[in-house]
Amino acid sequence: MTARVQSLRSSTKGARPPAGRAVGELYTNFADQQIGVVGPTGNIDLVPVRFFSETADYAIGDLVARGGDIYRAAVAVTAGAWNGTKWTDIVHESDKHHGVALFDASKSYLNGELVAHNGDIWMANSAVAAGAFNPTAWTLKTSAVGVVQFEATKNYLKDQLVAYQGKIYRSMAAWTAAGWDATKWEDININPLTGIQPFDATKAYAKDDLVSSAGKIYHAKHAVTAGAWKPADWQDININVTDVVTAFDAAKAYAQNDLVATGGKIYSAKAAVPAGAFNAAQWNEIGATTPHPITVFDATKAYALNDIVINAGKLYSAKAAIAAGAWDATKWTSLAGGDAFLGQTQVWTKAQRGAPVVTTGAMDFALSNNWTLALTGAMTLAAPTNLVAGQSGVIVITQGATAGTLAYNAVWKFEGGTKQDVTAAANAVDVLAYYVESATRITAKLIKGSA
């Protein structure tokens, strides 16, 4: 005889098991996209943030996941199609991950999603159904590998970026292989290495946005309001620009704003400069070059702090001085490529995980999402440091041979405003699921008696 365990199931929105069901029975509600377990005092829904369902009702404050973001219901929502006016996106732009995955013809995409295709980055103009890549459904954003040197033998798409004679240009229309024609290209005066736009005092910037200023590249340390440049707001990430800026050549004439490198510095021409020896009065100094150009990583070489290398098609900056030896990703900061970036939807192809961190009640949420706590006597779950809205995880709470108690800091919020007590039994295991709403609120639910 074969035994099987079957959960209670329902397709009726809001339905849950009636009173009298056995403690520990599992239930599934397809309409609500929720699973749960019958507890000693009632039913316990186990999914704190559900995927949005058109067949479910939602109360004010309910959380759902949709399109890679987390939303809170601003009003009571009845079953039906998604209506963005009834929901508040509670994940700040600076906390969203910006990974650009390769285009996959078997997948559909949401409006605004980014993909990499044939070496370029594209953004969906609207919802895109699964199928072969159709350029009319996408907007070309930039080259996936940064700005490339112009080649007369290549074709270019509209809006593609190239470097030519020390400047950056955007194609004004689709370009068929031919010699340079300045009337077909727009001089857009952007950073020669990455296509990063110059700092604009009329714009506001989010944390980690990149800009160029005075020949260098910076990322915002925090949200920056519109206004004059303030060095304290920005971190110099020291990206070398000499791969595109050419060395000064006395045999050449230069146009206004042409860039050259000489004497370890970068200069911009104040006006047209005739051929001849370098004359500093004709040029504006806009920054120093870095000690080393960007090269492919070489295991036989040592590197200094902030040196830039290419490895496996991606750009990295040295976190500190690095001795010669095999590649060690922990010693480098990724600057570009197919990594995860803040502010973009992620498409993960592998599990994202880390070992739970042991706590005695005090936690730094920058270290982990998941934690373990061994109760010894009367303990308190303190307010964690580094709280950022959108973080979620679990804390596994284990009793010892002698049962202890657990109190909570006021930052921890429970259903109905009543703190949940841990199971008061030797060796009991409870799981506290949580979601960070803000720097002062963590919504939590205790799953008791896990076995």
**Domain 295-334, architecture per CATH:** Ribbon (2.10)
User: Do 10 and 27 meet the contact criterion of CB atoms below 8 Å apart?
Assistant: yes
Three-class DSSP category at 242: coil
Question: Which position has the higher pLDDT, 269 or 313?
Answer: 269
Tens of pLDDT, residues 313-359: 566 778 888 999 999 988 988 764 444 544 445 666 677 777 788 88
**Residue with token string 């098609």:** 313
Q: Could you tell me the pLDDT band of residue 194, with boundaries at 50, 70 and 90?
A: very low
Q: For the domain 8-90, what is the CATH code?
A: 2.10.10
Q: Judge if 8-90 and 295-334 fold alike in CATH terms.
A: yes
Tens of pLDDT, residues 4-18: 556 688 888 888 888
Q: What was the pLDDT predicted at 32?
A: 79
β-partners of residue 246 are 260
Q: Could you tell me the pLDDT band of residue 2, with boundaries at 50, 70 and 90?
A: low
Question: Which position has the higher pLDDT, 91 or 301?
Answer: 301
Is CATH 2.60.120 the right assignment for the domain spanning 357-447?
yes
Domain ranges of the chain: 8-90, 295-334, 357-447
Long-range contacts of 411-418 (CB under 8 A, 24+ apart): 411/383, 411/384, 411/387, 411/440, 411/441, 411/442, 412/381, 412/442, 412/444, 413/437, 413/441, 413/442, 413/443, 413/444, 414/444, 414/445, 414/446, 415/445
> What percentage of residues in the chain have a pLDDT greater than 90?
15
Say yes or no to pLDDT of 191 above 70.
no
DSSP string, 82-108: --GGGEEE-S-GGGSB---EEP-TT--
Three-class DSSP category at 280: helix
